Amino acid sequence: MWQAIVLGFLGGVVGGNALPHFLRGITKQRYPNALGNGPLTNLVSGWVGLVLAALLLRWGHDATHPVPFFVSLAFGLLLIGLFHAGPGAFGRRDSAS
């Protein structure tokens, strides 16, 4: 059961983090990224993150414990979503604070 919980949580965090990078990449917008802020870098890192999340979720899916798996996945997505909606990795840069 712990494997399903941990891999579900990690899959949620990695997948949720990959989405904004991938979406900014395909829309050709700049977005902060550890490997560079350009669209191509974000597209590739977002794609890698989505593939890694899919693998984590595949390895973590445990048919005998679907509820803990889903709850941990949802919690991981919520946490990374709050992080991106809040300060983000490089801090918030709103002009109207």
Quick check: is 46 in a domain? yes
Quick check: is 91 in a domain? no
Q: Would you call 59 helix, strand, or coil by DSSP?
A: helix
Domain that holds residue 14: 2-85
Quick check: is 7 in a domain? yes
Quick check: is 39 in a domain? yes
Give me the mean pLDDT over the 77-94 stretch.
78
Residue pLDDT, tens place only, 11-34: 999 999 999 999 999 998 888 888
Quick check: is 95 in a domain? no
pLDDT at 90: 64
Is pLDDT above 70 for 89?
Answer: no
Residue of 76, 78, 24 lying closest to 46 (CA atoms)? 24
Residue pLDDT, tens place only, 31-79: 888 888 888 999 999 999 999 999 998 888 777 888 988 999 999 999 9
Quick check: is 94 in a domain? no
Quick check: is 92 in a domain? no
Q: What's the structural domain count of the chain?
A: 1
